[in-house]
Amino acid sequence: MKHKTIYALTLILLWVLIVLVTITSIAPFVPLKWVIHYESTEYSDVCVGERQQVVTSRRDVPFALSASATSEVHQITGGIRLETTIKRKTDFVYQKANGEINYTILWDSPFMVVGEYEALQFIDIHFGWFNISGEAPRGVFSVIECQ
């Protein structure tokens, strides 16, 4: 009887280990859209010399999630995307929500050239011992002269 109990516990622990290894092996391949359901993302226009931008996003977040983001901006000239030095890294929490959310981005450097730009955001969602990564929807906006 004692050997059967030890054997059963050993099998249970082995299955738990297999499940944990499987989850951590599969997690990097889970698409971000399986966790965060984006409907739309709109970036506000920015004045020359400004670093702050308002983003309006419609998304469904099933529960609070710890995350980090690396963002960058590309200037669009004649249909060609040119990488800029305007970037941002931050840690944040996705709050449980279903609907429209407004938030402010503070870019590392100001926008200095009038034109059309595209914002890219790469997200890492942290689930304890593994991450789910992906790109959030891109947004096109303009940098304009303001008075």
Q: Which residues, listed in sequence order, are joined to residue 139 by a DSSP beta bridge? A: 119
CB 105 within 8 A of CB 44: no
What share of the chain has pLDDT > 90, as a percent?
44
| Residue 43 exposed, middle or buried by CB count within 10 Å (0-12, 13-18, 19+) | buried
β-strands 46-47, 139-144 pairing:
parallel
Give this prediction's pTM. 0.75
Structure confidence by residue, pLDDT tens digits, 23-78: 555 555 677 777 788 888 999 999 999 999 999 999 898 888 899 999 999 999 88
Residue ranges of domains in the chain, CATH in brackets: 31-144 (2.60.40.3930)
Element (H, E) at 7: helix 2-26
- Tokens 């906006």 correspond to 141
Could you tell me the two tokens for 119? 């914002």
* 22 Cβ contact list (under 8 Å, min separation 6): none
